Amino acid sequence: MDKQNSNPGGFDWQEAQRRYLEAIAAFGKSSGADPLNPWAGALDYWWKSVAPAVADSEKAMFGNLVNQSKTFLGLADQFGKMMAAAAQGKDGDWKTILDQHLEMMKAGMSGKPGAPAGQPLAAFWQLPLDTWERTLSSLSAMPGDMFKGFKDGSPPPAADRFPSIPGIGYTKEMQDQFQRGAQLWAEYQKHLSEYQALLSAAGVRAVDILRERVAKLGAEGGKIRSLREIYDLWVDCNEDAYAELVYSNEYAEKYGRMVNALMAFKRHAQMLVDEGLATLNMPTQRGMDTMQKRQSEMRRDLRAAEQRQKADSDAIEKLRRELEALKRDMRMAGRGRPDSVAAAENPRAKRRPPRGQSGDIPAEGPE
Amino acid sequence: MNPFDFKPEALAREILEFNGKLAQGLNTLSALEDVEVGVSPKDAVYAEDKLVLHHFRPQVEKPHPVPVLIVYALVNRPYMADLQEGRSLIQGMLRAGLDIYLIDWGYPDGGDRYLTLNDYINRYIDRCVDEVRTRHGLEKINLLGICQGGAFSLCYTALHQDKVQNLITTVTPVDFHTKNDLLSHISRHVDVGLCVDTMGNVPGEVLNWTFLTLKPFRLMGQKYMDLVDILDDEEKARNFMRMEKWIFDSPDQAGEAYKEFITEFYQRNKLVKGQITLGGQTVDLQTITVPILNIYARDDHLVPPDASKALAGSVGTKDYTEMEFPGGHIGIYVSGSAQKTLPPAIADWLKQRA
């Protein structure tokens, strides 16, 4: 059997290769391919065709790898065009060509209305935020966020006025709670947008850093000979721009506000879920928290009581030994041969200490 | 001079080669199945709640008489210190003649939500220390703390110095407000109480996200491009997957303890100020007089060297040794160079203080 097909995971390598070649071929004639990122589109097409054959346990890892590869290929396409144009420019021209491409990239990353769409560079800067949203969505008190429909784009008409409509009648309290939820969600969206704007600005700054680095490289006679080199350089520029951002007080404050706003919303959503559960006479998170807290306190009390009990037991045992030693000494004294109490205090001691030096109980028994 | 030096056909060839490596790499990865972690034989000798105390089987005939208890962090899993053959701090220490115990904190769940730092330090660690002392008939043993576990070991030693012979701290934060401490910086304005009230235990995924966003483009992007380059080598791919497994094997954090650690240590920087209180007792690092070996990583982006080196002026011992490792926060445990330098250095230092 071919080594590459002797795969215990059951992944059919030859079949995957065939589909990949088909995807590449289809990429040339398919009208469905992404015209902005054709290489990434071909990879996506291929991945969709082979993903069903990949074991579920491995799909997440493979998916991650493919997603990053798509980003790389998207960058390759974008930088490829720029590098090809710049490589053809004369020594004076390449800077102009580079500047034109970089300005286009910056416009795409600015997130402003009318900016060029489908910029892989902008997608690169979505990495932290995408991961944040995926992480937090898994923590929702309900299956999916209550206000998920509001998430992208503008809220439905009049939605901004909904939270301020006064509640009346029997359902007033419920309405108040939902309105409060809507307010908290709007606050989170506001802080999220501010945070996002910071990242976008840093993305634009990364392009400027790239421009500076390439210019410096050119001045020093250095060369960029592959896409991977420019990709690595681009990563360095992003990390530098990101570092400039995250060490700022503004970032720490806006990051804190975003996290706090989301937590406030989720806490409120949790309370609403609890309300619903309580009406169904089912256990609530709040009730569970109370029980867990009391149980922890009881365990601490119990442990402290055990420690006190052990200390008491040790003290009683010591007193018992002392008492026995005293009794023994008294018996010995009656027979004219007194004993040491110290031995009782330390029953494992092999040698009996000299008379009168055995501890806090006098070696001489009471007459 | 124009630095761009390539032709479009070279670009197309590079992309095709990349795609080929990626497609073939998926086959390599799917053939790996589950990667194994933890290499040194060990026995569970004590358990309480989720905690398990492991004793590694000594690898020399007469190990050093005073055993070492490793106190790992609550974050991630302790097999990082024993990841694989040839990349294991524990294996190196065993071969250097030491007798090793390790606390595995397990995976906290909802029932552990109200565990406090006092529970972890004055209860769990203390019981493990007592267990090791009893097993060896010793009054004192050696402690080795890893990262957050190092901070716990410092607190423990300050309160139970009669049970600690020597203390080794590795990549341990002491001053949480140094200039380059990014974790501290980004957590400064987070309402941790609200987070814990909302989430209960703090999910491991949240911590993962936090760590990844310290260097997002390298850790969430470039790292996987590097993986594509090594996917034709099964052993390298396996090593990568071991690290990947460890990185994402993140236990949830017991809510109360997490809240205390972030607010008291990170936000208020109370450890170095001598203001931490546990079970009604103040943790004053100046009271620590046992010998200390403090190992920090020169390129640590999680615990900057200055955060660790602050220990020098914070403890009362006259026997303080500092050691710099030329690598990062994780490299100190798994890199090839660490295996050659750290275990013998630790063993020698301990043997001189037997």
Single-letter amino acid code for the residue at B309: K
Point out the residue among A132, A270, A285 whose CB comes nearest to the CB of B209.
Answer: A132
What's the pLDDT at B304? 96
CB contact (8 A) between residue B22 and residue A86: no
- All residues of chain B having their beta carbon less than 8 Å from the beta carbon of residue A226 are 6, 10, 14
Best of B217, B240, B245 to substitute, by most chain A Cβ atoms within 10 angstroms, is B217
Token representation of residue B66: 């005073």
Residues B202 and B198: their CA atoms lie apart, in Å, by 9
- All residues of chain B having their beta carbon less than 8 Å from the beta carbon of residue A135 are 203, 205-206, 208-209
- All residues of chain B having their beta carbon less than 8 Å from the beta carbon of residue A16 are 23, 26-27
Partner residues linked to B144 by β-bridges:
B70, B168
What's the pLDDT at A339? 55
Single-letter amino acid code for the residue at B15: I
Banded model confidence at residue A162, pLDDT cuts 50, 70, 90: low
ipTM of the shown complex: 0.90
Among B61, B60, B77, B78, residue whose Cα is nearest residue B69: B78
Residues B349 and B352: their CA atoms lie apart, in Å, by 5
What's the pLDDT at A123? 65
Question: Quick check: B217 and A203 in contact, CB under 8 A?
Answer: no
Length reported for chain A: 367
For B338, the enclosing helix (H) or strand (E) is helix B336-351
Single-letter amino acid code for the residue at B297: A
In chain A, which residue's Cα lies nearest the Cα of B241? A61
Could you give the 3-state DSSP secondary structure of residue A116? coil
Among B302, B298, B327, B333, residue whose Cα is nearest residue B77: B333
Point out the residue among B31, B110, B185 whose CB comes nearest to the CB of A9.
Answer: B31
Of residues B35 and A210, more confidently modeled: A210
pLDDT higher than 80, residue B59: yes
- Angular region, A316: left φ>0, alpha ψ -120 to 50, beta rest: alpha
Banded model confidence at residue A340, pLDDT cuts 50, 70, 90: low
Point out the residue among A76, A91, A219 whose CB comes nearest to the CB of B15.
Answer: A76
Token representation of residue B183: 């974790």
pLDDT digits (tens, 9 = 90+) for B176-232: 999 999 999 999 999 999 999 999 999 998 898 889 889 988 888 888 888 888 888
Beta strand extents in B147-212 (DSSP E only):
164-170
Residues B285 and B294: their CA atoms lie apart, in Å, by 14
Alpha helix segments (H runs only) across chain A: 13-29, 38-50, 56-88, 93-109, 120-124, 127-137, 172-219, 227-246, 249-279, 285-334, 342-345
Best of B30, B205, B213, B214 to substitute, by most chain A Cβ atoms within 10 angstroms, is B30
Residues B268 and B274: their CA atoms lie apart, in Å, by 11
How many other CB atoms sit within 10 Å of the CB of residue A306? 10
Point out the residue among B11, B23, B194 whose CB comes nearest to the CB of A80.
Answer: B11
Please tell me the least confidently modeled range out of A205-209, A239-243, B240-244.
B240-244
Question: Quick check: B155 and B283 in contact, CB under 8 A?
Answer: yes
* DSSP letter, residue B202: B
pLDDT digits (tens, 9 = 90+) for B232-274: 888 888 898 899 889 989 999 999 999 999 999 999 999 999 9
Residues of B noted as catalytic: 147
In the sheet that holds B320-325, the strands lie side by side as B42-48, B51-56, B100-104, B68-71, B141-146, B164-170, B292-297, B320-325
Q: Which residues of B91-110 are buried (b: 16+ CB within 10 A; e: fewer)?
A: bbbbbbbbbbbbbbbeebee
- Angular region, B168: left φ>0, alpha ψ -120 to 50, beta rest: beta
How many other CB atoms sit within 10 Å of the CB of residue B351? 13
Q: By the CB < 8 Å criterion, does B27 face chain A?
A: yes
| % of chain B exceeding 70 in pLDDT | 100
Residues B40 and B59: their CA atoms lie apart, in Å, by 9
Q: Please, which residues have CB within 8 angstroms of residue B253's CB and are 6 or more apart in sequence?
A: B74, B75, B108, B201, B202, B204, B207
Banded model confidence at residue A122, pLDDT cuts 50, 70, 90: low
Phi–psi pair at B52, nearest 5 degrees: -130, 130
Question: Quick check: B2 and A89 in contact, CB under 8 A?
Answer: yes
